[in-house]
Amino acid sequence: MKHMVILLTLVAILASLTVISVKAVSGMITFSVMDKMQLTYPIFYIMFIIMIASCVFQVKFLNQATKLYNTTTVVPVNHIFFTISAIIAGIIFYQEFLGAPFLTVFIYLFGCFLSFLGVFLVTRNREKEHLQQSYIDFGNIPGKQMLDKIQPDSHSLSYGTLPDGSDSTKSQSGERKEV
């Protein structure tokens, strides 16, 4: 469970970054259409690159989570983490609830709670899965030698056996040595 939480926390952090950058890019495009051209400022392109990069890495980590765990487990947890991270990002960066009446904020948060409760109720009777791989694959590390293929697989040739079936423990004179 801790591996899935780590992966989906990374997805949620990237999702909040995606939400922030998408809102910035869409706001700049809207402002360019309505009033003053914003596409000439470098911040638009920086936010556009951040938007694309965060989407790509978000999909990468989500794909890794679905490889390790069943999608019926990953999707509900991702929904909850994504929603919470998007709400927190909106509250912090765009002050969405600033000046809103208490009842509006309460109804919004209560709606999110009902959504989370619905996700929990739908997925509570799912059978638990065991981890297929005991590690999270972050890809190849440049310059690091791969040492994971030292031992032969159970389907490969055993030690001391040549591909033609002969034994590699024969002496120079052709006699077999007992190993």
Confidence at 73, pLDDT banded by 50, 70, 90: confident
* Rounded average pLDDT over 68-84: 89
- Rounded Cα gap, residues 101 and 178, in angstroms: 87
Beta-strand runs (E) in 73-168: none
Confidence at 177, pLDDT banded by 50, 70, 90: low
Number of H helices, E strands in the chain: 4, 0
Residue 136: the pLDDT is: 54
pTM for the model stands at: 0.62
pLDDT digits (tens, 9 = 90+) for 128-143: 655 555 555 556 655 6
The ranges assigned to domains in the chain are 2-123
What does the buried/exposed string (b/e) look like for 108-125 if buried means 16 or more CB atoms within 10 Å of the residue's CB?
eeeeeeeeeeebeeeeee
pLDDT digits (tens, 9 = 90+) for 40-62: 899 999 999 999 999 999 999 99
* Rounded average pLDDT over 170-179: 51
* Rounded average pLDDT over 3-30: 92
- Of 126 and 79, the structure prediction assigns the larger pLDDT to 79
